[in-house]
Amino acid sequence: MLRRRLNRLLGGDERRVDSRTIYVGHRSSSTTEAFIPPKFCDNRIVSSKYTVWNFLPKNLFEQFRRIANFYFLIIFLVQVIVDTPTSPVTSGLPLFFVITVTAIKQGYEDWLRHKADNEVNKYPVTVLEQGRKIRKESEKIKVGDVVEVEEDETFPCDLILLQSSRDDDTCFVTTASLDGESNHKTHYTVPDTEKDLESLNATIECEQPQPDLYKFVGRMHIYKNEQEPAVRSLGPENLLLKGATLKNTQKICGVAVYTGMETKMALNYQGKSQKRSAVEKSINAFLLVYLCILVSKALVCTTLKYVWQSKPGQDEPWYNEKTQREKDTNLYLKMFTDFLSFMVLFNFIIPVSMYVTVEMQKFLGSFFITWDKDFFDPEIKEGALVNTSDLNEELGQVEYVFTDKTGTLTQNNMEFIECCIDGFQYKYRDANSELDGFCVTDGPVNKVQEKAGREREELFLRALCLCHTVQVKESTKQSQGDGLIDQVDGFGVDGEVPRPPQEQRGFIASSPDEVALVKGAMRYGFTFLGLESKTMKILTRNNDVEMYELLHVLNFDPVRRRMSVIVRSKSGDTLLFCKGADSSIFPRVRQEEVERIRMNVERNATEGYRTLCVAYKYLSAEEYAQADAGLREARLALQDREEQLITIYNQVETGMSLIGATAVEDRLQEEAAETMEALQGAGIKVWVLTGDKMETAKSTCYACRLFQRNTELLELTVRTLDDGGRRREERLHELLLEYHKKAVQDAPPVKAGVTRTWSSATQDYGFIIDGATLSMVLNSSSESNSSRYKNLFLQICQNCASVLCCRMAPLQKAQIVKMVKNSKGSPITLSIGDGANDVSMILEAHVGIGIKGKEGRQAVRNSDYAIPKLKHLKKLLLAHGHLYYVRIAHLVQYFFYKNLCFILPQFLYQFFCGYSQQPLYDAAYLTMYNICFTSMPILAYSLLEQHICMEVLLDNSTLYREIAKNAMLRWGPFLYWTLLGVFHGLLFFFGVRYLFSNPALQDNGQVFGNWSYGTIVFTVLVFTVTLKLALDTRHWTWINHFVIWGSLAFYMFFSFFWGGIIWPFLKQQRLYFVFANMLSSVSAWLVIILLILLSLLPEILLVVFRKPRGPHARQIAAVTPLSYKHLKERE
Amino acid sequence: MVKEEQELANRPDNTAFTQQRLPAWQPMLSAGIVIPGFVLIGLAFIGIGVALFVTSRSIQVLEFDYTGVDQNSPCFKCSDPKVLNCVCNLNFSIDSLFKGTVFFYYGLSNYYQNFRKYGVSKDDVQLSGDLTNFKTPSDTCSPYAYDSNNQPIVPCGSIANSMFNDAFKLYQIINGTNTLVPFDGKGIAWWTDYNIKYRNPSITPLKNAFNNTVKPIFWSKPAYELDTSDPANNGFINQNFLVWMRRAALPNFRKLYGRINEGDYAQGLPAGNYSLEIAYNYPVLSFDGRKKVVFSNVSWMGGKNEFLGIAYLVIGSMCVFMSIVMLIVYAKFKFPEEDGVPGH
């Protein structure tokens, strides 16, 4: 129900003034007007992005819009156009590889979409044309066609229901594929349409298509020969949405109003906004640094080249004369070309393969979440769902968790606990209710202790039975029959009317509270039998069946926080029953009744129950007539229908008398408290955002151990504001300052964020705020105050261990998330929720988690990750998130490092070759380095590494703090890796340089040339960076072994192969036998070993000296190697 | 769209891989491993270093700069580029026997054989004996692909064109008479270069293959006359040519010219007076270059190179030193996890 409002908020409130007119069955309304069929789009669904023809250009265009791809394209083009040191192949090949792989992936995905589209578009449907049934392909349906749909078929487009095979002119649908709600919803035919669709002459005027699933306004004009046309209002209850399925109804006929891409389903189908992870931002920052390094290297080389050439004899020694064209070229143009050449020579410092590897890592890595059997919930038979793999590492960076209460912290599995009628408490002792649900021998009379008088009791129970929108599930006949036979004996005693098996009676409702209430009433003897053609039947305690005519339902919405029904009893009395939150009911009933009930309600709330108050009133004939007219008029309105309705609702729901209140328990989720404790241990601040009332929410917080016994609560609610009897604004100001002093100024300075909740000496604060106060804080009357309050509020909240925000509207939830997200230090936020009212905050937060709960699928659909239960959040963050973060952070740093020490020797070589852009390495090595020789080990590492094993991570939530605030990708570690890269690069180059001071390195006195030089450096390089990764690997599975040693073996094999053959079609055979000759030299071997060891020794020393000595040293050191035996024991 | 049809089959596989529970070896670097490791590595390095250093020390080297910049230099008269076919004699004496096969190198300084444009300026196809590239040399050879009469140059390109053309003859002066010490010009180039990579066209006589081509501008004689005495050392497989074609890595380099391994000199150069007759042709002064000759014998590690030995010694001692430091640190502070051996 909440989602109606929500969708309006999300869908934007823009009013579409335009409306469209549809001629039912393409019959013109009147004979005089010329019939011009209006143009609408056809019923083809196109979710695919490409066609065969535009795939190549469009896909390429989209790929090159990515800045990295574009950069490599530019480099490639420069290589093609300008005479550059390396052939275009060296950068063209990797780019081509990347582009092709991506294109194939996207092409495949699009092919799947095409297939799905075709399945929908070619689906055969039945269309009534001139009285005949014609089978058509779904895509050929036009607006105005009358379509026939049979049971269990999905609707091919948005239809206005004209005719149903059911007697009561209704039909049932499920919208499982739209919003995931599997309950049956009732839709109504347009009243007074003719049974004979053939002769129906009508037009429909309705709004232009808009995405809100729960909103539709329209009008139908029915023309009957020469009479004034009859006008009927159309609402969402008349509209059958494409994608929904017809249930429990043999067949229906409807007229198409929105088709194809204009259906609500298609309009709702949109790509989610791209969330970017903090790691990605770090990558871009590092990339910028490396781009600067690249440009400055090229600039330095270009400058030095011309300085060097200015010395006589250096520019053009006789042995290296220039061609005529070179001599003719303009000096500045030459400089520019030289600059470009250097750029090309050094461009490998920004690796094209890093993007591929990062994408692969994310894509493949996310499978571990889906595969995790700990996330599998046997109840719903589903595991975790990953909607985006871009945010894996963000799970390891969460600082704030915003959680919904109902359905997230609690199970949303409502149980009727007690009620209170006229101030008397009725507690339902359900010792054996779990067994058969109803103690027949006890007798209903005994259950109700008749404290408040029989009449009041029965009125209350009738109210519970009538005031709802629950439907009775029509289960298959067989199972019901079985149930009946089992129970018949027990009931036979009771009376002539055989009671249906109560607990087996299935109720369906959009909110579990309603079911709990109806079931609660059933326990006291009042059973709701169902709603048939606007008549509600209830079975009373005396086994009489009472009939009530349902006149109006005044729907629930989260703003009013109440709902009402208007019914007419057999005796002709018109009654209004209303139930809702205490705050919305109390002002609308007689005040003297309130006090008796209020106490009970508040007591129930502190016990953690959800409370609702029930009120009623008799409507006199005039009152009813007035209300009826008002409601009907409002329902017909095309504009501002909702506002008009709410006004009428408010008018009707006044002057009621309070009967009682109910208390429904919502149990905590499994391991909710443990999960919350773990999150807090991990340094994550947990905020509870709920629409529920404060007392209920507070007790849930205590139960979840978000608030401890010693937590000092700072309350900023309407109640505390009203204390002291001053203006709210002033009081707010005062309280904010007071709390700020307490929580922020007097708090001891936080020591590096680690010791905070460890030492119990510091006082923990909990903060409570409600929706009304929050809006005061956020939208204060004066501008200056507003920002000041906001700041104070944020600072207080950030110093509190946990914060509770109650009475929140969905949009306010998102507002809070946004506020925290944009606060100083831009902390990483995570929202978790299960209902449609959480969608806004799920979309707003950095990471949105949906719980596959009972309130439909909207949260899941809009989330980045979906898990079956709250308890899974712990493993998702502490184990998966932590590991993903460490993996990708290491991946990124390692990638930059390995390319820096790859290119640095090439840069240094320029100083020894007269700045002539001579590459140090062969083109094959330049190309293969990132693709083949060093890519697989890091990919395997980034998928498999567990520097601390999962159990330890789960047991010690404090380990999560070690990587907080992007710890591994800050400038410090980046500098370390960069320096390491520089150190290695210098070592490689100069080590070999000094060896080559005498190039006679073979025992036969022969000398080595420049390619031998490059090959020695390259060999050292490949071995060092691979072994460096091996040193960092803490978790050696057979895959790591295979890939690391395999890569090195492949390098050796490739080098032999590449140098072992005179390659046809190649102009240059420069590497011919260079590698083999190198290996025949003892000196080369010795220098390779020396340089590798020298590069790695400092690392080893550092590891030993940096051995963890902090408080967690033991935990980290206690990581024992997993033997296979060990594993088996654990399982 | 929501995936509605999640079924029991969707239950994740319970395999070690999917559950990230692959059996794994989790090495821990701890003092218990690192200290002995450092000692071992250090000792091994010191051992290798000593061997290298001793070997390098035992290698004898004799080096002479003969560019002729200095007025007293015997080749000073030749350093003027106007003097043609200049020959100068470099006299020197050896005190003790120059052991083993003596290798004779020529060396150039400030000479950039590793210029990029210079380096690509050759035609590997032509040099592998393909006659089509005799007529149309590759573009990379420019500006040494065709001469001014548009005749193709073979071998084309800067590298070939700039081939070192000083010639050396060594005489031992015994009792005032010069005895020629023969240089063996074979086995100075890589075996694969000589046997596979470079090929003469299979036309006899070789001269005919070079019809309608011209010799490189700088050369005094065409390629087929590089060594007329030995057809296996002529043309593109002339070993001096091959040595030159393998570009040096750095601007100061030496290249092998010949070995002294014949007759009386097979055991080395005996002590005595020698005279090196140099046909001074190669101009280097225009770009401030230097020329030198080097006599050297070699060992298993190649020519003399002290760097490697010293580096090994230094790193080895550093390792040992670091292990001692670590030992002291760890002995003093006695960390609880000092044993560091995981697994219990």
Region A454-472 average pLDDT:
84
**Contact present, A278 and A254 (Cβ < 8 Å):** no
Please report whether residue B140 resides in a domain. yes
- For residue A67, name the pLDDT band (cuts at 50, 70, 90): confident
Start-end of H helices in A723-876: 728-740, 771-778, 783-798, 810-821, 839-844, 858-862, 872-874
Residue that wins the pLDDT comparison between A710 and A1033: A1033
pLDDT at A479: 38
Please answer yes or no on whether A371 and B128 come within 8 Å at the CB atom: no
Please report whether residue B280 resides in a domain. yes
> Are B204 and B126 part of one and the same domain?
yes
pLDDT at B264: 85
Please answer yes or no on whether B190 and A1013 come within 8 Å at the CB atom: no
Q: Residues of A with CB below 8 A from B8's CB? A: 381
Q: In what order do the strands lie in the sheet with A181-188?
A: A181-188, A170-175, A245-247
- For residue B246, name the pLDDT band (cuts at 50, 70, 90): very high
- Separation between Cα atoms, residue A956 and residue A953, nearest integer Å: 5
> Are B50 and B74 part of one and the same domain?
no
pLDDT at B317: 95
**Is residue B299 within 8 angstroms of chain A, CB to CB?**
yes
pLDDT at A825: 84
> What does each C-alpha distance from B106 to A279, A461, B96, B258 come to in angstroms?
57, 113, 22, 9
Answer yes or no: is A7 a known binding residue. Answer: no
**Contact present, B205 and B187 (Cβ < 8 Å):** no
For residue A183, is pLDDT > 70?
no
| Chain B residue whose CA is closest to A1006 | B188
- Separation between Cα atoms, residue A240 and residue A173, nearest integer Å: 8
- For residue A840, name the pLDDT band (cuts at 50, 70, 90): confident
- For residue B180, name the pLDDT band (cuts at 50, 70, 90): very high
pLDDT digits 0-9 by tens, A761-799? 457 788 898 888 888 887 766 667 778 888 888 888 888
Which residues are CB-contacts of B164 (< 8 A; sequence separation ≥ 6)?
B106, B108, B240, B244, B255, B282
Region A244-263 average pLDDT:
84
Answer yes or no: is A691 a known binding residue. Answer: yes
Lowest mean pLDDT among A17-21, A114-118, B52-56, B246-250: A17-21
**Is residue A1100 within 8 angstroms of chain B, CB to CB?**
yes
Of these ranges, A422-436, A478-492, A601-615, the one predicted with the greatest mean pLDDT is: A601-615
**Contact present, B43 and B274 (Cβ < 8 Å):** no
What DSSP character marks residue B309? H
ipTM of the prediction? 0.94
Report A:267-306 residues touching B (Cβ under 8 A): 269
Percent of chain A with pLDDT over 90: 22
- Separation between Cα atoms, residue A909 and residue A925, nearest integer Å: 16
Please answer yes or no on whether A1100 and B34 come within 8 Å at the CB atom: yes
Of the candidates A376, A1062, A1104, the beta carbon closest to that of B12 is on A376
pLDDT at A1021: 97
Please answer yes or no on whether B300 and A1082 come within 8 Å at the CB atom: yes
pLDDT at A1040: 95
pLDDT digits 0-9 by tens, A1063-1097? 888 878 889 999 999 999 999 999 999 999 999 98
State the nearest Cα–Cα gap between B140 and chain A, in angstroms.
10
Please answer yes or no on whether A1009 and B187 come within 8 Å at the CB atom: no
Sign of CA dihedral A57, A88, B198, B101: negative
Q: Which candidate in B2, B313, B334 is best for mutational testing of the A interface (most A CBs within 10 A)?
A: B2
Which residues are CB-contacts of A1106 (< 8 A; sequence separation ≥ 6)?
none
- For residue A34, name the pLDDT band (cuts at 50, 70, 90): low
Please answer yes or no on whether A1093 and B41 come within 8 Å at the CB atom: yes
Q: Residues of A with CB below 8 A from B98's CB? A: none
**Contact present, A437 and A416 (Cβ < 8 Å):** no
Region B186-196 average pLDDT:
92
Report A:785-844 residues touching B (Cβ under 8 A): none
For residue A303, is pLDDT > 90?
yes
- Separation between Cα atoms, residue A238 and residue A105, nearest integer Å: 42
- Separation between Cα atoms, residue A769 and residue A935, nearest integer Å: 52
pLDDT at A1039: 95
**Is residue B53 within 8 angstroms of chain A, CB to CB?**
no
Helix (H, G, I), strand (E, B) or coil at B228: coil
pLDDT digits 0-9 by tens, A604-642? 877 777 788 999 888 888 888 888 888 888 877 766 777
> Are B278 and B323 part of one and the same domain?
no
Give the number of domains in chain B: 2
- Separation between Cα atoms, residue B187 and residue B305, nearest integer Å: 22
Of the candidates B4, B29, B243, the beta carbon closest to that of A1104 is on B29
Please answer yes or no on whether A1007 and B3 come within 8 Å at the CB atom: no
Of these ranges, A139-143, A800-804, B187-191, the one predicted with the greatest mean pLDDT is: B187-191
Region B63-68 average pLDDT:
92
For residue B45, is pLDDT > 70?
yes
Which residues are CB-contacts of A542 (< 8 A; sequence separation ≥ 6)?
none
Please answer yes or no on whether B115 and A1010 come within 8 Å at the CB atom: no
Given the DSSP bridges, would you call strands A865-867 and A847-851 parallel, antiparallel or unpaired?
A: parallel
pLDDT digits 0-9 by tens, A495-511? 333 444 444 567 777 67
Torsion angle, alpha carbons of B131, B134, B139, B143, to 10: 160
> Are B278 and B316 part of one and the same domain?
no
pLDDT at B259: 93
**Contact present, B292 and B63 (Cβ < 8 Å):** yes
Lowest mean pLDDT among A215-229, A517-531, A571-585: A215-229
pLDDT digits 0-9 by tens, A877-886? 999 999 999 9
State the nearest Cα–Cα gap between A80 and chain B, in angstroms.
16
Please report whether residue B342 resides in a domain. no
Of these ranges, A193-202, A240-249, A462-471, A1024-1033, the one predicted with the greatest mean pLDDT is: A1024-1033
Place of tokens 């380096």: B119
pLDDT at A855: 61
State the nearest Cα–Cα gap between B304 and chain A, in angstroms.
7
**Is residue A912 within 8 angstroms of chain B, CB to CB?**
yes
Residue that wins the pLDDT comparison between A862 and A625: A625
**Contact present, A1035 and B24 (Cβ < 8 Å):** yes
Of the candidates B12, B128, B303, the beta carbon closest to that of A383 is on B12
For residue A154, is pLDDT > 70?
yes
Closest by alpha carbon to B191, among A377, A1006, A20? Answer: A1006
Place of tokens 């053959």: A1061
Please answer yes or no on whether A1104 and B254 come within 8 Å at the CB atom: no
Place of tokens 């990471």: A847
**Contact present, A518 and A533 (Cβ < 8 Å):** no
Q: Where are the beta strands (DSSP E) in B111-251?
A: 167-174, 177-181
pLDDT at B46: 96
> Are B146 and B167 part of one and the same domain?
yes
Please report whether residue B72 resides in a domain. yes
pLDDT at A1128: 35
Answer yes or no: is A1067 a known binding residue. Answer: no
Place of tokens 């005027």: A205
Closest by alpha carbon to A181, among A863, A870, A861? Answer: A861
pLDDT at A284: 85
**Contact present, A29 and A221 (Cβ < 8 Å):** yes
Average pLDDT value over all residues in chain A: 80
Helix%, strand%, coil% for chain A, nearest 5: 50, 20, 30
Helix (H, G, I), strand (E, B) or coil at A737: helix
Which residues are CB-contacts of A608 (< 8 A; sequence separation ≥ 6)?
A665, A666, A696, A699, A700, A703
Q: What is the DSSP code string of B97-117?
A: -EESSEEEEEEEES--TT-HH
pLDDT at A561: 77
Residue A917, phi then psi, degrees to nearest 5: 65, 25
- For residue A700, name the pLDDT band (cuts at 50, 70, 90): confident
Provide the greatest CA pair distance for chain A.
122
**Is residue A322 within 8 angstroms of chain B, CB to CB?**
yes
Which residues are CB-contacts of A524 (< 8 A; sequence separation ≥ 6)?
A426, A428, A444, A447, A448, A457, A461, A541
> Are B176 and B281 part of one and the same domain?
yes
Of these ranges, A106-110, A222-226, A274-278, A1114-1118, the one predicted with the greatest mean pLDDT is: A106-110
| Chain B residue whose CA is closest to A367 | B18
Please report whether residue B339 resides in a domain. no
Residue B274 structural domain = 60-297
> Are B39 and B153 part of one and the same domain?
no
The 10 Å Cβ neighbour count of residue A967 is 16
> Are B222 and B239 part of one and the same domain?
yes
Please answer yes or no on whether A1120 and B26 come within 8 Å at the CB atom: yes
Q: Residues of A with CB below 8 A from B112's CB? A: 317, 320, 913-914, 916
Q: What is the DSSP code string of A880-947?
A: IIHHHHHHHHHHHHHHHHHHHHHHHHHHHHHTTTTT----SS-HHHHHHIIIIITHHHHHHHHHH--S
- Separation between Cα atoms, residue B49 and residue B57, nearest integer Å: 12
pLDDT at A1123: 31
Q: List, in sequence order, every residue forming a beta bridge with B341; answer none if it has no partner.
A: none
Region A704-721 average pLDDT:
82
- Separation between Cα atoms, residue B234 and residue A557, nearest integer Å: 100
User: In the structure encoding, which two tokens stand for residue B92, read together?
Assistant: 């020197």
Please report whether residue B21 resides in a domain. no
pLDDT at A468: 85
**Contact present, A848 and A863 (Cβ < 8 Å):** yes
Q: In what order do the strands lie in the sheet with A535-539?
A: A424-427, A410-421, A657-668, A609-619, A574-580, A562-569, A545-557, A535-539, A527-532
Of the candidates A860, A994, A1107, the beta carbon closest to that of B307 is on A994
Please answer yes or no on whether B18 and A321 come within 8 Å at the CB atom: no
Region A288-315 average pLDDT:
91
pLDDT at A725: 64
For residue A535, is pLDDT > 90?
no
- Separation between Cα atoms, residue A131 and residue A199, nearest integer Å: 9
**Is residue B319 within 8 angstroms of chain A, CB to CB?**
yes
> Are B171 and B78 part of one and the same domain?
yes
CA angle (A800, A805, A808) in 5-degree steps: 160
Of the candidates B20, B112, B301, the beta carbon closest to that of A1082 is on B301
The 10 Å Cβ neighbour count of residue B111 is 25
Region B20-32 average pLDDT:
82
**Is residue A182 within 8 angstroms of chain B, CB to CB?**
no
**Contact present, A1023 and A1084 (Cβ < 8 Å):** no
pLDDT digits 0-9 by tens, A16-25? 446 788 888 7
pLDDT at A268: 64
pLDDT at A276: 76
Q: List, in sequence order, every residue forming a beta bridge with A20; answer none if it has no partner.
A: A206
| Chain A residue whose CA is closest to B161 | A319
Q: Which candidate in A319, A858, A906 is best for mutational testing of the B interface (most B CBs within 10 A)?
A: A319
**Is residue B47 within 8 angstroms of chain A, CB to CB?**
no
> Are B200 and B326 part of one and the same domain?
no
For residue A429, is pLDDT > 60?
no
Please answer yes or no on whether B315 and A1093 come within 8 Å at the CB atom: yes
Of the candidates B21, B25, B343, the beta carbon closest to that of A1036 is on B25
Which amino acid belongs to residue A840?
A: S
Q: Residues of A with CB below 8 A from B26's CB? A: 949, 1034-1036, 1119-1122
**Is residue B71 within 8 angstroms of chain A, CB to CB?**
no
- Separation between Cα atoms, residue B290 and residue B251, nearest integer Å: 11
> Are B243 and B314 part of one and the same domain?
no
> Are B149 and B54 part of one and the same domain?
no
User: In the structure encoding, which two tokens stand for residue B62, read together?
Assistant: 């004799």
- For residue A1099, name the pLDDT band (cuts at 50, 70, 90): confident
Which residues are CB-contacts of A680 (< 8 A; sequence separation ≥ 6)?
A686, A706, A757, A801, A802, A957
pLDDT digits 0-9 by tens, B138-176? 888 888 999 889 999 999 999 999 999 999 999 999 988
- Separation between Cα atoms, residue A102 and residue A604, nearest integer Å: 58
Which residues are CB-contacts of A905 (< 8 A; sequence separation ≥ 6)?
A920, A985, A988, A989, A1017, A1021
Closest by alpha carbon to A556, among A493, A510, A591? Answer: A510
User: In the structure encoding, which two tokens stand for residue B44, read together?
Assistant: 């091994």
**Is residue B133 within 8 angstroms of chain A, CB to CB?**
no
Q: Which residues of B127-147 are buried (b: 16+ CB within 10 A; e: fewer)?
A: bbbeeebbeebbebbbbbbbe
Answer yes or no: is A406 a known binding residue. Answer: yes
**Is residue B51 within 8 angstroms of chain A, CB to CB?**
no
Please answer yes or no on whether B19 and A373 come within 8 Å at the CB atom: yes
Lowest mean pLDDT among A395-404, A855-864, B22-31, B237-246: A855-864
Please report whether residue B15 resides in a domain. no
Report B:6-35 residues touching A (Cβ under 8 A): 6-8, 10-14, 16, 18-31, 34
**Contact present, A805 and A769 (Cβ < 8 Å):** yes
* Catalytic (active-site) positions of A: 404
Lowest mean pLDDT among A466-475, A1103-1112, B146-155: A1103-1112
Lowest mean pLDDT among A203-217, A306-320, A609-623: A203-217
User: In the structure encoding, which two tokens stand for residue B21, read together?
Assistant: 């529970």
Region A589-599 average pLDDT:
83
Please report whether residue B7 resides in a domain. no
pLDDT at A730: 79
- For residue A179, name the pLDDT band (cuts at 50, 70, 90): low
Answer yes or no: is A838 a known binding residue. Answer: yes
CA distance from start to end of chain B:
51
User: In the structure encoding, which two tokens stand for residue A18, read together?
Assistant: 């335009």
Region B225-233 average pLDDT:
90
**Is residue A1035 within 8 angstroms of chain B, CB to CB?**
yes
